[in-house]
Amino acid sequence: MKYYIIAGEASGDLHAANLMKALKKTDPQAEFRFWGGDLMEREGGTPVKHYRDLAFMGFAEVIMNLGTILKNISFCKEDIKKWDPHVIIFVDYPGFNLRIAKWARKEGYKTHFYISPQIWAWKENRIKDIQRDIDEMYVILPFEKDFYEQKHNFKVNFVGHPLIDEIAERPPADVNKVKVECDLDNRPVIALLPGSRKQEISKMLEIMLSVTQDFKDYQFVIAGAPSQEEAFYRRFIKKSNVHLVMNRTYDLLEISTAALVTSGTATLETALLKVPEVVCYKGNFISYQIAKRVINLEYISLVNLIMQREVVKELIQSDFDRQNLKKELLKILDQENRKKIFSDYYELEKKLGGKGASEKTAQLIYQKISAS
């Protein structure tokens, strides 16, 4: 069967690539055409657009790039029509994907959504669009099933979190190889995960790096995102105890004692790899002021949202400064505090369910499309 997949961010590229791998096992005749990234491309099929050309962060940025976004939407519709897939699989990225889904449903295409938009955080009125335009929804967070089924009477499939598999199945990092590649010495490592978009990386790294001179017994390593060129990071690593590793975030986390992490999927990845972390976020001032008024959540990190309490410290906007970052980093380096963090991380993993999210989703998609 022909699967048209749309993922608009780095995390979507990862999850969609694993889903493609599982679909090939379930459906040996599977053909793919997709919007995504390098990981999806490795699984085969035909790439249409890379997510680096789609990612606009924040309200103000979206408005400034509205013309480009509208052109992409129009082009996507034309491309789907030409290829005529058996099913369209949307992977998160709701602003774009729900607009395509509305059109696709009218055109008679099967619409499956893998990894729910976070409508439980904001834009809950999108439930009407989902109920109208989405044939099947696959959710990966335990509280999402209750949200959809009990609150909105919309049946969904809870498949577990794909990161469980991604982390469990990967080979252990070659510690010595990573150290040589990064030119590291024997001091403990603190990982810096500043995000995947240029504008957020610039904002986050400036403050993350402000504490490096306060922790001279440690060495800091920036996790370079696959969507960026190595040259982009060079201006940030002028200090003697700052290093860079490209496209090796999991390997870096495996050798790290602690991490400073931009909010997003990376906060959950860091927790599942059992690295104590401080969650950081600082966005465009206008975008943040708007978001603060429309998002109704007590926490911004997936770790705290899933656990429904503070497991990891969140430094947001004006709280994200050198003084607070230094204080919180000292806390997660303290051995007694680390014991409690590790205990919470193991509880988190249990809440996320077992292995096999990608395989469960692939089998459900294939069964439902075959039966229709």
Coil vs helix vs strand at 86? coil
What value does the mean pLDDT of the chain take? 90
pLDDT of residue 52: 81
Residues 208 and 117 placed together within one structural domain of the fold: no
Angle at 327 between CA 321 and CA 332, to 5 degrees: 120
H-state helical runs in 158-294: 162-169, 175-182, 198-208, 230-233, 249-254, 265-272, 285-294
Residues 9 and 148 placed together within one structural domain of the fold: yes
Instruction: Round to whole Å and give the CA distance between 357 and 163.
Output: 8
Residues 62 and 178 placed together within one structural domain of the fold: no
pLDDT of residue 342: 97
Residues 242 and 263 placed together within one structural domain of the fold: yes
Global confidence as pTM: 0.78
pLDDT of residue 18: 93
- Check if the beta carbon of residue 148 is closer than 8 Å to that of residue 137: yes
Coil vs helix vs strand at 75? helix
165 lies in a domain?
no
Residues 152 and 6 placed together within one structural domain of the fold: yes
Instruction: Round to whole Å and give the CA distance between 275 and 271.
Output: 6
Residues 154 and 188 placed together within one structural domain of the fold: no
pLDDT of residue 68: 73
Coil vs helix vs strand at 29? coil
229 CB contacts (<8 Å, ≥6 apart)? none
pLDDT of residue 293: 46
- Check if the beta carbon of residue 257 is closer than 8 Å to that of residue 333: yes
Residues 6 and 30 placed together within one structural domain of the fold: yes
> Given its phi and psi angles, is residue 84 left (phi above 0), alpha (psi -120 to 50 degrees) or beta?
left
Q: Count CB-CB contacts under 10 A for residue 299.
A: 21
Residues 178 and 125 placed together within one structural domain of the fold: no
**Residue 252: CATH number of its domain:** 3.40.50.2000
Residues 62 and 113 placed together within one structural domain of the fold: yes
287 lies in a domain?
yes
- Check if the beta carbon of residue 32 is closer than 8 Å to that of residue 116: no
Instruction: Round to whole Å and give the CA distance between 202 and 215.
Output: 21
* Domain range for 227: 173-351
Residues 86 and 182 placed together within one structural domain of the fold: no
pLDDT of residue 65: 60
167 lies in a domain?
no
267 lies in a domain?
yes
Express each pLDDT in 162-221 by its tens digit: 989 888 888 888 888 888 877 888 999 999 999 988 888 988 999 999 999 999 999 999
What is the sign of the dihedral through the CA atoms of 163, 164, 167 and 169? negative
123 lies in a domain?
yes
Q: Which amino acid is it at 186? A: N
166 lies in a domain?
no
Instruction: Round to whole Å and give the CA distance between 169 and 163.
Output: 10
Residues 177 and 284 placed together within one structural domain of the fold: yes
Residues 225 and 135 placed together within one structural domain of the fold: no
238 lies in a domain?
yes
For the chain, the domain total comes to: 2
Pairing, β 256-262 against β 277-281: parallel
User: Residues of the chain whose pLDDT is less than 70?
Assistant: 55-67, 239, 284-296
Instruction: Round to whole Å and give the CA distance between 100 and 119.
Output: 17
305 lies in a domain?
yes
